[in-house]
Amino acid sequence: MAGPGADKPNIRQVAQLAGVSHMTVSRVLNGHPHIREATRVRVEEAIEALGYRPNMTARALATQRSRRIGVLVESSVEFGPTSTVRAVESAARASGYVVSSVLLRAGEEITPQEAVDHLVAQGVDALCVVAPRSSSIAALRRIDVGVPVLVVKPDDDPTFLTVTVDQQAGTALAVDHLVSLGHRDVLHLAGPLDWLDARTRERSFHARAKSWGLRERPIVVGDWTADFAYDFARGIRELPDYTAVFVANDDMAVGLVHGLHDRGFSVPDDLSVVGFDDIPLARHVIPPLTTVRQNFHALGVSVVDVLRAAIEERTIPTVTRIPAELVARASSGPPRKAGR
C-alpha cells in the first residue's frame, strides 16, 4: 500500500509538463532573477495544473524568505475590502505564498505601528494594505517597515507600490451611462471621505459631471451601509429635482432602492440608481442594479505579481491599474418627464 503523500506531484513532474529541467523549476520557485518570463509563466502554469506544493520549510531555509505576505485591512465587513483580501489570498496561494492578515478598525486599541510590528515579527517578505484610510497611510509613512509595501489605492504614490481597480474610469463609466440616458441632474451618495476609494469616486464624479455640464449640487456622505441609504431615502418627502443617483457602493444602492420603494417612488421611473462593486446580490434585487464591476480576481493577481517582483528583485510590472466595467441593468433608465 502506498504511504501518505505517494500520489502528490513532485518537482520532476512539474519539469516534465513544463518542458524544462527540474533545476529550472527550482530556480523559478526560489525567485531566481535570471529566468526568462515565458519560462517562468510555463513553469507556474504547470505547477498550478498539477497542484504541486513545494516544501515551504525547506525553501524558506534555502532562500532566507518566509514566502509570507502580510496584509493590513481597514475593514472586514464591506464587500470591496473582503473581496480584495480573498483575491490576494487566492493569488498568493497559487504562487506558493501564504497570507497573514491584521484588521485595523477605527477607535480600536491596535495602531498601525503595532499591526506592522505584529506582521514583521512573523517574518513577512512584504506588506499589502487594503482599503486604506488617509490616516492609516499617513501613519505608515512614518514607519520603517523594512520590506516592500504595496497599498491598494487609486493614485500612484512616491513611497509605496500601488495597485488598484481604476476608480476614476469606473466612475466616469457610471456618469457617462446616466448622461447617455438623458440625465442632467445627478446626486452622488458618497462613501466616508476618509476612505481613499470613496474620496476618489467623489472627486471623479464631480470632474466628470462638470465635463458634461451637469448641475452642480452638494453630495450626501454615507457610511457604506444599506441602512444609511435606506434612512436617507425614507427622508425624501417629494420627488427631488435630481433624476438619478450615483451611489459609491452597491450596499448603499440596494438600501436606497428599498427606501425609495417604501416611500412610494419607482426605480427607475422616478429616480435612476447606479451603484459600484457589482456584489452578487446586485443582479437579483428588484429592479436588478446597474453598477460598476470591479474585477477583484485580477486585482489580487496583480497585487501578488507586483509584490513577488519586489521581493525577488525583478522588474516591477507596469500594468497596475485594473479596468472597471459598467453593468447596465434595470435600475437605470431615461429621466422622468417634466411634471411627473
Please name each of the domains of the chain with its CATH number: 15-52 (1.10.260.40), 64-166+295-323 (3.40.50.2300), 167-294 (3.40.50.2300)
CB 140 within 8 A of CB 116: yes
Decide if 130 contacts 71 (C-beta within 8 A): yes
| CA–CA separation, 62 and 257 (whole Å) | 56
pLDDT band at 340 (very low <50, low <70, confident <90, very high): low
With vertex at residue 191, the alpha carbon angle to CA 178 and CA 291, rounded to the nearest 5 degrees, is: 35
Average pLDDT over residues 32-51: 82
Q: Provide the CA 274 distance to its chain's centre, in angstroms.
A: 19
Q: What is the pLDDT of residues 184-206, one digit of tens each?
A: 999 999 999 999 999 999 999 99
Report pTM: 0.79
Exposure of 121 by Cβ count < 10 A (0-12 exposed, 13-18 middle, 19+ buried)? Answer: exposed
Q: How confident is the model at residue 57 (pLDDT cuts 50, 70, 90)?
A: very low
Q: What is the pLDDT of residue 215?
A: 96
Average pLDDT over residues 50-58: 63
Confirm if 85 and 74 have CB atoms less than 8 A apart: no
